[in-house]
Amino acid sequence: MRAWTGPEIPTIDPAARDEMPTLRLHDTRSGSLVDSAPEGTARLYVCGITPYDATHLGHAATYLTFDLLQRQWLARGLDVVYTQNVTDVDDPLLERAEATGEDWQALAERETELFRTDMTALRMRAPQHYVGAVESIDLVTDLVARLGESVYRVDDDLYFDVHADAAFGSVSNLDEEAMRAVFGERGGDPDRAGKRDPLDCLVWQAPRPGEPSWESPLGPGRPGWHIECAAIALQHLGTDFDVQGGGSDLAFPHHEMSASEARVATGEEFARAFVHAGMVGLDGEKMSKSKGNLVLVSALREAGTDPMAVRLALLAHHYRSDWEWFDTDLTQAKDRLRRWRTAVERPTGAPAGALVADLAAALSDDLDAPRALEAVDAWTALDGTDAEASQEVRAAVDALLGVAL
Contacts to ligand 5CA by CB under 6 A: 47-50, 58-59, 61-62, 85, 87, 229, 246-247, 249-250, 277, 279-280, 286-288
For ligand 5CA, the closer CB: 98 or 285: 285
**Closest separation in Å from C-beta 133 to Zn ion:** 10
Q: Yes or no: say if 198 and 57 are a contact pair by the CB < 8 Å rule.
A: no
Q: Which does 59 bind (CB under 5 to 8 A by kind): ligand 5CA, Zn ion, none?
A: ligand 5CA
Tell me the CB-side half-sphere exposure of residue 98, using CA atoms within 13 A.
11
> What b-and-e string marks burial along 203-224, b requiring 16 or more CB atoms within 10 Å of the CB?
bbbbeeeeeeebebebeebbbb
Q: Does residue 373 bind Zn ion (CB under 5 A)? A: no
Alpha-carbon distance 339 to 8, whole Å? Answer: 24
**Closest separation in Å from C-beta 265 to ligand 5CA:** 18
Q: Which of 46, 47, 75, 352 binds Zn ion (CB under 5 A)?
A: 47
With 0-12 / 13-18 / 19 or more C-beta atoms within 10 angstroms meaning exposed / middle / buried, residue 154 is middle
Q: Which does 314 bind (CB under 5 to 8 A by kind): Zn ion, ligand 5CA, none?
A: none
Nearest residue to ligand 5CA, scored by beta-carbon proximity? 247
Site string for Zn ion, 206-245 (x = CB under 5 A): -----------------------x----------------
Q: Dihedral, CA atoms, 392, 57, 280, 91, nearest 10 degrees?
A: -140
Under DSSP, is residue 138 helix (H, G, I), strand (E, B) or coil?
A: helix
**Closest separation in Å from C-beta 79 to Zn ion:** 23
For ligand 5CA, the closer CB: 48 or 223: 48
**Closest separation in Å from C-beta 72 to ligand 5CA:** 19
Of 229, 223, 261, which Cα lies nearest the Cα of 245? Answer: 229
Q: How far is CA 44 from CA 53, 63, 128, 211, 333, in A?
A: 25, 12, 10, 32, 29
For ligand 5CA, the closer CB: 78 or 314: 314
Q: How many residues bind Zn ion (CB under 5 A)?
A: 2
**Closest separation in Å from C-beta 212 to ligand 5CA:** 17
Q: Which does 49 bind (CB under 5 to 8 A by kind): Zn ion, ligand 5CA, none?
A: ligand 5CA
Of 405, 365, 371, 367, which Cα lies nearest the Cα of 389? Answer: 405
Q: Which does 232 bind (CB under 5 to 8 A by kind): ligand 5CA, Zn ion, none?
A: none
Q: Yes or no: say if 399 and 10 are a contact pair by the CB < 8 Å rule.
A: yes
Q: Yes or no: say if 62 and 303 are a contact pair by the CB < 8 Å rule.
A: no
**Closest separation in Å from C-beta 281 to ligand 5CA:** 7
* Number of residues that this document lists for the chain: 405
**Closest separation in Å from C-beta 19 to ligand 5CA:** 33
Nearest residue to Zn ion, scored by beta-carbon proximity? 47
Q: Which does 28 bind (CB under 5 to 8 A by kind): Zn ion, ligand 5CA, none?
A: none
Q: Which does 380 bind (CB under 5 to 8 A by kind): ligand 5CA, Zn ion, none?
A: none
Alpha-carbon distance 367 to 69, whole Å? Answer: 7
**Closest separation in Å from C-beta 67 to ligand 5CA:** 13
Of 384, 355, 389, 388, which Cα lies nearest the Cα of 372? Answer: 355
For ligand 5CA, the closer CB: 49 or 352: 49
Under DSSP, is residue 307 helix (H, G, I), strand (E, B) or coil?
A: helix
Q: Which residues bind Zn ion (CB under 5 A)?
A: 47, 229
